[in-house]
Amino acid sequence: MSYASFLPYLLVMALVTYAVRVLPLLLVKNKIENTFILSFLHYMPYAVLSVMTVPAVFSATGNVISAAVGVAVALVLACFKRSLLLVAASASAAVLVTELIMQWL
């Protein structure tokens, strides 16, 4: 990509990022008291994180079955309130073991 085409992309990206951060400060003057809007703003980060993570999890491995096994292990451990490190390491190990078993078969 040439410098002449990169610079407009960078400028637009900077303006959009700045606008997303500044517009709420300019538009919302009072404290938000509407319970629907408060709950919407509370759950929005979780929804966005899920939408970004779930497709990446299922496309990260070469096989959907091993990805599903990893997700299942992660969900079970997360339901038992294990640490994030243990959940991530166990899910990765489950994917590795599943991939090795599937290659062996």
pLDDT at residue 46, as a whole number:
92
Radius of gyration of the chain (CA): 21
Give residue-wise pLDDT tens across range 69-78.
999 999 999 9
Q: What is the pTM of this model?
A: 0.64
Give residue-wise pLDDT tens across range 61-95.
889 999 999 999 999 999 999 999 999 999 999 99
Confidence label for 105 from pLDDT (cuts 50, 70 and 90): confident
What's the average model confidence in pLDDT over 12-21? 93
Distance CA 89, CA 73 (A): 10
Q: Is the pLDDT of residue 1 over 80?
A: no
Q: Which of 56, 75, 69, 62 is nearest to 97 (CA)?
A: 69
Give whole-number Cα distances, 10 to 13, 19, 22, in Å: 5, 14, 18
What's the whole-number average pLDDT of the chain? Answer: 92
